[in-house]
Amino acid sequence: MKSGMEGEGCFPTGRHYPGIAHLLRVVASGLADEFDGQTEMHRLPVVSIDTETTGRDSTVDRVVEVACVIYREGQVVARHDWLVNPGMPIPKEAFDVHGISDDDVKDKPPFSAVALEILEAMRQGVPLAYNADFDRDFLHAEFARCNLNVPDLPPAARKGVEWLDPLTWARELQKEEKSKSLGDVCERLGIEIGRAHRATDDAEAAAKVHGIFATDSRVPRNYAAFVLEQKRLGRIFEDERRMWRRG
């Protein structure tokens, strides 16, 4: 864990309070140790991750595609993509979403054969995904099945590291908008998605959404404060969701 934002005068909400800047110090859990919590968000290297799967349950469904898009200082600098054989048929419901068929993956390697390549790509930044819980749960389940002996896991593969999640910020910054889907958020921000629901294109779009949101005056300026506020917002949205379900 690293501390962040000393002397910048900014609370997690992004509001500035002149005269007390020297008293402020934000400490956040969930940071990737490789990156200083004081790093400004526009300078923080990010690995934007997306998965396509056979379904929605990470305990039984499997990954069929993984993408890692490396995003630095407002630019995509590298794209990595793997089609993998899930070892099970791809249901029609899943095919209708991403368009990946059994024939597309029948000659592709299993996840275990490319796991080390994926881990290496993940070392290049702080993990990010749109609706991050979904992709994190699937990838952690796949890595667990591999029984890899890797002592130095990248942040995305470690428990306790908070993934940056543009969906959380879309719910806050575009709260008046009905839809918070990646496609609709991108349309409002003027971001084009090549092939929606394919891993590389969705990962790149998510990185660009993050890049725009990170420049919003309502968003904390450094990594530690950003994570702290994202976790706070996540708790609020989860409480609201539970209340809605009870009602």
For 23, the token pair is: 């008293």
The strand pairing partners of 127, in sequence order, are 47
d(CA 91, CA 62): 11
pLDDT tens-digit profile of 95-123?
A: 999 999 999 999 999 999 999 999 999 99
What is the residue-averaged pLDDT of the chain?
A: 90
Task: Using CA atoms of 38, 157, 202, 65 in order, give the dihedral in degrees to the nearest 10.
Answer: 160
Q: Which amino acid is at 217?
A: S
Task: Name the band, by pLDDT with cuts 50, 70 and 90, for residue 242.
Answer: confident
pLDDT tens-digit profile of 116-155?
A: 999 999 999 999 999 999 999 999 999 999 999 998 999 9
pLDDT tens-digit profile of 35-52?
A: 999 999 999 999 999 999
pLDDT at position 5: 36
Q: What topology is assigned to 41-222 in CATH?
A: Nucleotidyltransferase; domain 5 (3.30.420)
Kindly list the domain boundaries of the chain, sorted by start residue: 41-222
Helices 199-213 and 166-173, packing angle to 10 deg: 50
Sorted by sequence, the CB contacts under 8 Å of residue 151 that are 6+ apart come out as none
Measure CA 208 to chain center. 12
Helices (H) and strands (E) in the chain, counts: 8, 6
d(CA 241, CA 247): 10
Q: Where do the DSSP E strands lie in 57-216?
A: 63-72, 75-83, 126-128
**SS3 of the chain: helix, strand, coil, percent, to 5:** 40, 20, 40
Task: Name the band, by pLDDT with cuts 50, 70 and 90, for residue 2.
Answer: very low
d(CA 180, CA 166): 10
